[in-house]
Amino acid sequence: MKGAVAFDLEWNSKDQTYDRDLFAFRAFFEYRRIAAAVLVTRSDELEDYFKKLGTYREGGVAKKYAAKYGASTTHMGKLLPRLRLGEVVAVLCWLSA
């Protein structure tokens, strides 16, 4: 937190962390600890980019970038439905993809 603004970066976590983050933002807001929250995550458009990257080697094993940064991890497509459910009620959310 900086002043009355909370910040969190979710780049490659499991998408359930959004539930935790939104709950925390809401609680901080209701207890007047923050006035706004900023949550940065990756754009859905990056999914196609990761598919085009191909493979990398880890421990001598070829792995796909798309699997490492896949659809099961945090990105806008996982965040927006949670915001539409109204879990952030009075907290201002500014989204930029």
Instruction: Please tell me the predicted confidence (pLDDT) of residue 87.
Output: 57
Q: What is the tens place of the pLDDT at every residue in 26-81?
A: 899 889 999 888 888 888 888 888 888 888 899 999 998 888 776 667 888 888 88
pLDDT of residue 57: 92
pLDDT at 2: 64
Residue 78 CB partners (closer than 8 Å, separation 6+): 15, 18
Full-model pTM:
0.71
Give kind and range of the element (H or E) at residue 18: helix 17-30
Residue 79 burial class via C-beta count within 10 angstroms: exposed 0-12, middle 13-18, buried 19 and up: buried
